[in-house]
Structure 1
Amino acid sequence: MSAPLRLVVLGLSLSSSWGNGHATTYRALLKAFAGRGHDVLFLERDVPWYADHRDLPNPDFCRFALYADLAGLEAHHAAIAEADAVIVGSYVPEGVAVGDRVLAWARGTRAFYDIDTPVTLGALDAGDCAYLAPRQIGAYDLYLSFTGGPTLRRLERRYGAPAARALYCAVDVQAYAPRARPVLYDLSYLGTYSPDRQPTLERLLIEPARRAPDLHFAVAGPQYPAEIDWPGNVARIEHLPPQAHPDFFAGSRYTLNVTRADMIAAGFSPSVRLFEAGACGTPLISDSWAGLDTILAPGRDILCPTNSDEVLAILRDLPEAERVRLGAAARQAVLARHAAEIRAAELEACLREGATRRRSRRVAGPGEWGAPGPGSEAGDVVGVLATGGPILAEVSECGSEQ
């Protein structure tokens, strides 16, 4: 049996799920990872937004610490240096500077976990990514990506990642399971407002609601503009903490998944909401994108209508037996491939692979075996430390879901 790993994670948030999906992603993954016998320390930047909305201030599956600023990371220098693996996540405040410190301090496997990959790549191309610098990508031993498919090759070939691996979101199947609850909504949606998702939400939920005043709908999530004209049969819920998600899904005949434009363009970018609702046995309606069939099979596990007419046909005409079968199929697929325990095993395998590669890169030296050249290896990371502002901007898909 392999020895337990000491893992340090520097992520956007573990303590607050308000307005982001990073917290629920980290919670499911790290709880399952710790359940495999590993030791986990999560370091979170203490920012006012999350400080005012903490719903897990004292996690029981890992050690947790807040740091006030870059200088505050010094208190964790030894833990980072001595860890078997260190992960820096996307959208970490001053993430470039944080990454420079991790690359300079850590002696174990250094990994970047991108829960926002298409957004990250767009920002890198534009030269304005606040949490990752192009020069750092080759220095990380491992690039873990929320997006799979062709994007992984792009990370390796264009950006020099030594190893890009898909690490999709996952679900805590103990927390998300079918529940007997009164049905409140014919169709629901759970997600933070995003301008590029709003047209799909309009087409697949709001317009059907206008045309079917006898049916009941719900949209849960923060940051929706006041000027949105909500039909009277659409319930608005400003925020649902994670512990309320299962009841929300259980009270929905169907629930809707809406994918951001960058994620649709990249494909292979499943939202955590797919896995959460699926684990609850709630039938899923979703937009369509490349790679969806590798996650959930359209027509078997999930339905992908393209317009309001098709949504209303599902809500009004699909036999109840087929609706129940659809929810059961989604749950079976999620439990078989997307449970947190499965993802934690994938993470462990990636980190152990990264450790082997790191040893090879040390032996090979700069320029060989994908080793970064002078100026980008951990010992040579010097110079500019970015001074990004508070990370309160919208983050994408897993990251932008509440």
Structure 2
Amino acid sequence: MKIAFYGSSLLSSYWNGAATYYRGLLRALAAHGHEITFYEPDAFGRQQHRDIEPPEWCRVVVYEANPEALARAAVEARQADVVVKASGVGYADDALLAGLLEAAAPHAIRIFWDVDAPATLAELHAAPEHPSHAALKRLDLVLTYGGGDAVVDAYRALGAADCVPIYNALDPSTHHPVAPDARFDATLGFLGNRLPDREARVEDFFLAAAEALPQRDFLLGGSGWGDRDLPPNVRDIGHVPTRDHNAFNVTPMAVLNINRASMAATGFSPPTRVFEAAGAGACLITDDWPGIDLFLKPGEEILVARDGRDVAEHVAGLTREDAGRIGQAALRRVLAEHTYESRAVLVDTLLRRLVADKAAGAAA
């Protein structure tokens, strides 16, 4: 099938947490015989901070962030068998969705792929006149990168024909164990951009833990922290490109995952960081959220913390030997159950079923 996928960016992870998800899933889908074109706007400095060049398994079209270029990109959807509009493209999202619904061929499957369901649903519930309410009824399927039953039920209640979570996962070809790198030496590392919905939780889970353990070294990676007052034992290294994520994960004794508040409350929303770290064999400490045990077993494959005090206790009681054992258990689990290939099998099955159903309906 020809898939036209409109998202934030495949080429750059700069201020774009969905990059790893897109790359892993679309690469795996391409291996199932799909011909994929990814459309992304030239916005937010991402093209100046590319992590990868266009890959052989996907054609990439970068369009200018203006109405004329967006319209030209949207029209190309009429050549596709599957048209996907992701959430959070970042430029004229509503206009893009409307343009794609108009351009898509009658036989095409129309999909909205939500990579931040808690935020999207909050926006829709707060705005009954939002154009996406009408658009949902014209779609064949909503896919989300997490959320569980709460998100599925919410989308169906809003009029979606169906909603299926396609969880984050591991691409073993890009995220895997490597040798430690002295640039990332620390007791505990945290990698995440500074976002309003996360900052208070970073203060609680990471910075408070650092203050409680002044003799330990803490490493902070991600964009936006430069003007933030930090404890003296926290080293801010700024944006960490994707090519360095493996080394960042394996070098500290442990690494920390902190979900944004809305995703933690919704649950069943493991970010890419969870699988990146597990895929590198890192010992991962995560904030507590419903559904963790669907992916990794607390206490054996991942450590769970309710607050910064729990994080500090985990770090204080952890040895390199314990951390290595937890990291290896996590690596075995994600390789067995949580790769992008397994997610792609589900997506491929859904697409083929929808195509067959639409063809049968047209023939009736």
Q: In structure 2, give the amino acid aligned to 1:55.
A: D
Letter in 2 for 1:202: E
Distance 1:316 1:341 in 2: 37
Q: Which residue of 1 aligns with 2:57?
A: 61
- Name the count of aligned residue pairs: 358
Q: Which residues of 2 match residues 181-260 of structure 1 at below 5 A?
A: 181-182=180-181, 184-224=185-225, 226=227, 228-260=228-260
Whole-Å separation in 2 of the counterparts to 1:349 and 1:286: 32
TM-score for both structures, normalised by structure 2: 0.91
Distance 1:361 1:140, change over 3 A: farther
Matched, 1:106 2:81: no
- 1:82 is the counterpart of 2:64: no
| Distance (whole Å) between structure 2 residues aligned to residue 14 and residue 197 of structure 1 | 24
**Cα distance, 1:225–1:363 mapped onto 2, change above 3 Å:** farther
Change beyond 3 A, Cα 1:319–1:51: closer
The answer for the alignment partner of 1:95 in structure 2 is 93
Contact 1:89 1:113 survives alignment (8 Å):
yes
Deviation, 1:94, is: 1.4
Q: CA deviation at 1:67?
A: 1.8
Distance in 1, Cα, partners of 2:305 & 2:73: 49
- Provide the rounded CA distance (Å) in 1 between the counterparts of 2:232 and 2:352: 53
Separation in 2, partners of 1:151, 1:129? 22
SS in 2 for 1:193: coil
| 1:356 to 2:356 alignment | yes
Tell me by how many angstroms 1:182 deviates: 5.0
Letter in 1 for 2:13: S
Change (3 A) 1:181 1:233: same
Task: Give 1:86 shift.
Answer: 1.2
Cα deviation per residue 1:288-334 (whole Å; 9 max; x = unaligned)?
11111112121121111224443233223234433222111111222
Superposed counterparts of 1:111-122, under 5 Å: 111-122=111-122
Structure 1 residue 326 corresponds to structure 2 residue 318: no
Give the superposition deviation at 1:74. 5.0
CA distance in 1, matches of 2:56, 2:265: 38
Q: Structure 1 residues 138 and 155 mapped into 2: Cα distance closer, same or farther (>3 Å)?
A: farther
What does 1:120-139 align with in structure 2 at a 5 Å threshold?
A: 120-127=120-127, 133-139=132-138
Deviation string 1:335-393 (CA, Å, 9 cap, x unpaired) is 222212222222212222222343466578xxxxxxxxxxxxxxxxxxxxxxxxxxxxx
**Counterpart in 1 of 2:289?**
289
1:179 corresponds to 2:184: no
1:34 to 30, 37, 42: 30
Structure 1 stretches lacking a partner, 5+ long: 365-402
Q: Tell me, in whole angstroms, the C-alpha distance in 2 between the residues paired with 1:332 and 1:251.
A: 19
Greater CA drift, 16-25 or 254-263: 16-25
TM-score normalised over the length of structure 1 = 0.83
The 3-state SS of whatever aligns with 1:143 is: strand
**Do the aligned residues in 2 keep the contact of 1:148 with 1:165 (CA within 8 Å)?**
no
Q: Give secondary structure in 2 for the equivalent of 1:312.
A: helix
- Structure 1 residues 106-129: Cα deviation after superposition (integer angstroms, max 9, x where no partner): 221111110010100001111299
Q: Give identity over the alignment, percent.
A: 34
Distance change (3 Å), C-alpha of 1:297 and 1:48: closer
| Contact 1:221–1:238 under 8 Å retained in 2 | yes
Residue 167 of structure 1, CA deviation: 1.0
CA distance in 1, matches of 2:348, 2:239: 33
Partner deviation per Cα, 1:34-91 (whole Å, 9 max, x = no partner): 1222211111112252233223243332111112234324545664223121111001
| 2:4 alignment partner, one of 8, 12, 15 | 8
- Shift of the 103–166 alpha-carbon distance from structure 1 to 2, 3 Å rule, reads same
Whichever residue aligns with residue 205 of structure 1, its letter is F
Distance in 1 of aligned mates of 2:49 and 2:97: 26
In structure 1, how many angstroms separate the alpha carbons of the residues matched to 2:357 and 2:8? 27
Q: Distance in 1 between matches of 2:359 and 2:167?
A: 26
Question: Would the alpha carbon gap of residues 95 and 354 (structure 1) be closer, same or farther in structure 2, given more than 3 Å must change?
Answer: farther
Distance 1:79 1:361 in 2: 25
Distance 1:128 1:215 in 2: 50
Q: For the structure 1 residues 354 and 124, does the alpha-carbon distance in structure 2 shift closer, same or farther, using more than 3 Å as the test?
A: same
Give the Cα–Cα distance (whole angstroms) in 2 for the partners of residues 221 and 313 of structure 1.
24
Contact 1:280 1:331 (C-alpha < 8 Å) held by counterparts: yes
For the residues of structure 1 that align with 2:238 and 2:155, how far apart are their CA atoms? 40
1:200 positional shift: 2.5
SS at match of 1:350: helix
Counterpart in 1 of 2:156? 157
Contact 1:155 1:164 in 2 (8 A): no
How many Å separate the matches in 2 of 1:47 and 1:128? 29
Partner of 2:278: 278
Matches within 5 A, 1:263-274: 263-274=263-274
